[in-house]
Amino acid sequence: MTKSPANTELPRRSGWVEINTEILRNNFQLILKDKPESLKFLSVVKDEAYGHGVIRVAKMAEQAGACAMGVTNLEEACQLRSGGIRVPILMFGEMRRDEMPYCHELGVIPTIHRIEDAEYLNTISGKWGVVSPVELEVETGMGRYGVRWDEFEQFAQHVHSFKNLKIGGIYTHFAMSDELDKSFAREQLKRFGMVRKSVMESGITKLDFHTCNTGGYLDIPEAHFDRVRLGILPLGVWPSKVCRRIDGIKPAMSVRARLATVRELKQGDNAGYGLRFRAPKAMKLGVIPVGYGDGYPRVRNEGHVLIHGKAAPIIGGNAMDTTLVNLDGIPEAHQWDRVTLMGEDGDASITAHDLAGWKKTVSYEVMSGWRSRLPRIETADSSQ
């Protein structure tokens, strides 16, 4: 048997994700201009930076002055370190005891929610002869992680008393920061404000208070405190349709394919799984070699793609590897022409929010949902 070629030696498959590094860089610059200078930002790069490539985004964030990276598991932290990222890494969520010994080695800051965990980390830190930085999360209404706001002060005091731990941050997370109705966010902010006041009065100092994800950063300036945690914003996608916009910010990710087949259907011919489409008249059909196995929504006669800057409606139910479109309005479409599944083509565009509508989900899931079987290709084309 001959040795199989490396993936990178193969011609690129007819479906891919494009990351425009010029746009990404520009988005970071626009955020730096938008935010107050003293406000620090932590770059949230969990889940491959929402599918954009964790090192690619983390490097740019580091260059833009990010104070730390935010991830949710040790593998992601390891990936950052092997990719040469130097800034501290904040771990969201709970950390198991058997994971804690890696904090020091990897420069990972755990979020501590339990005194027993603080005690354990304090003991092993003592053995290493180091003071380990930790952050604490206040539960103010997300109901997920953290110590309830009305029980927090005592907890903070207790953690503060450990000689080999240093509290570097206290934070909470909004359940609803990017919608018009900010009343619950304000309630959470009030709870966090009480905690902040009592912690400051108790003499725990030199730490960052932070609450904001992108939605909070954009719309609730009074919640900025010392640091914000930005995930989706530098990628150029708005967390919701109603939040504040920063001029010039654009999506860095596009998803493209090539038209694998162009064929004629006769009146009454069927197309796709489940007999969900029958040609009402003779028509031209296109086959796109990307389906729900690539992260495209499982749609039925809903949605469209762009070919030559025009919308080609999806017909029938799509498959794991293929999606069918109506080419009637695009007579110039030929085999291997470029197809845009998400992004701009000429004056037309399909946004993550459009796809979220067809997929009945949110833009976040659309972005992190593009599977790794679609290769990530960097472009720096500023005309897009």
Ligand X SMILES: *Cc1c(COP(=O)(O)O)cnc(C)c1O
Residue of minimal Cβ distance to ligand X = 231
Report CA dihedral (270, 276, 280, 283) to the nearest 10 degrees. -60
Catalytic residue among 35, 120, 273, 310: 273
Residue 228 or residue 306: which is nearer to ligand X going by CB? 228
Residue 178 or residue 345: which is nearer to ligand X going by CB? 178
**Spatial distance between the Cα atoms of 77 and 83, rounded to a whole number of angstroms:** 10
Min CB(215)–ligand X separation in Å: 6
Neighbours of 153 (CB within 10 A): 19
Residue 46 or residue 196: which is nearer to ligand X going by CB? 46
Q: Which residue has the tokens 């979220």?
A: 356
Residue 27 or residue 318: which is nearer to ligand X going by CB? 27
- Please say if 273 is a catalytic residue: yes
DSSP character string of 106-126: HTEEPEE--HHHHHHHHHHHH
Neighbours of 120 (CB within 10 A): 15
Residue 195 or residue 312: which is nearer to ligand X going by CB? 195
Residue 162 or residue 370: which is nearer to ligand X going by CB? 370
Q: How far, in whole angstroms, is CA 244 from its chain's centroid?
A: 18
Nearest to 372 by CA among 59, 8, 52: 52
Asked if 61 and 234 touch (Cβ cutoff 8 Å), the reply is: yes
Min CB(174)–ligand X separation in Å: 9
List residues near ligand X by CB under 6 A: 44, 46, 92, 173, 213-215, 229-233, 239
Q: At residue 131, what is the residue type?
A: V
**Spatial distance between the Cα atoms of 323 and 130, rounded to a whole number of angstroms:** 56
Min CB(44)–ligand X separation in Å: 4
Neighbours of 256 (CB within 10 A): 22
Report residue 347 as tokens. 């004056």
Q: Which residues contact 175 (CB under 8 A, 6 or more apart)?
A: 141, 142, 143, 184, 185, 188
- Please say if 40 is a catalytic residue: no
Asked if 37 and 12 touch (Cβ cutoff 8 Å), the reply is: no
Q: At residue 205, what is the residue type?
A: T
Nearest to 171 by CA among 213, 221, 131, 231: 213
**Spatial distance between the Cα atoms of 97 and 111, rounded to a whole number of angstroms:** 12
Q: How far is CA 250 from CA 26, 49, 76, 278, 349, in A?
A: 9, 16, 26, 38, 12
Min CB(89)–ligand X separation in Å: 13
Min CB(46)–ligand X separation in Å: 6
Min CB(172)–ligand X separation in Å: 9
Residue 207 or residue 232: which is nearer to ligand X going by CB? 232
Min CB(178)–ligand X separation in Å: 7
Catalytic residue among 3, 46, 359, 360: 46
Beta bridge partner(s), residue 342: 255
Positions marked catalytic? 46, 273
